[in-house]
Amino acid sequence: MANIFTREDLAPILHGLQSEGNKIVFTNGVFDILHKGHVEYLNRAKELGDFLIVGINSDTSVKKIKGEKRPIVNEKDRAFIISNLKSVDYVCIFEEDTPYETIDMLQPDILVKGADWKVEDVVGRDIVEARGGKVVTIEYLDGKSTTNIIKKILSEGSLWEK
């Protein structure tokens, strides 16, 4: 897990990369049950800069956001999987409901969220724009979601019992 860090340990690494002229891209999410939509989203986010940082919601924060039955995959496994995608340079897990504190500490140049977010509602936008950075939204792939996968498994559950 060479590229999974606490945000406290990651911040000086990123600030060093920025001082060398590199653009740091940050996105965050649950990334529970990884699918093609996640990978495409992260690939497109990486294209926006030099280094892609992914903030992963902790198990505790996922339960608050998605309910007691989530996440399906625990935070350490989700971080490991995301950290091994070729588009991802660094991963950190955050405990809060939003990544605001993480964004404030890491100070990315570009903040990325899915297009289901209005730019003005993206958490951390104020931090990034105050530094001259930008917020970018990326369209999702139709029909590609963890919720859809879970629904399919549950609706076809009886098939697994035969």
pLDDT along the chain (162 residues), means of 10: 90 98 97 90 97 98 93 96 97 97 98 90 97 93 60 62 56
Residue spans of the domains in the chain: they are: 7-153
pTM: 0.89
Angle at 31 between CA 34 and CA 112, to 5 degrees: 120
CA-CA distance, 47 to 51, in Å (whole number)? 9
* CATH 3.40.50.10800 applies to domain 7-153: no
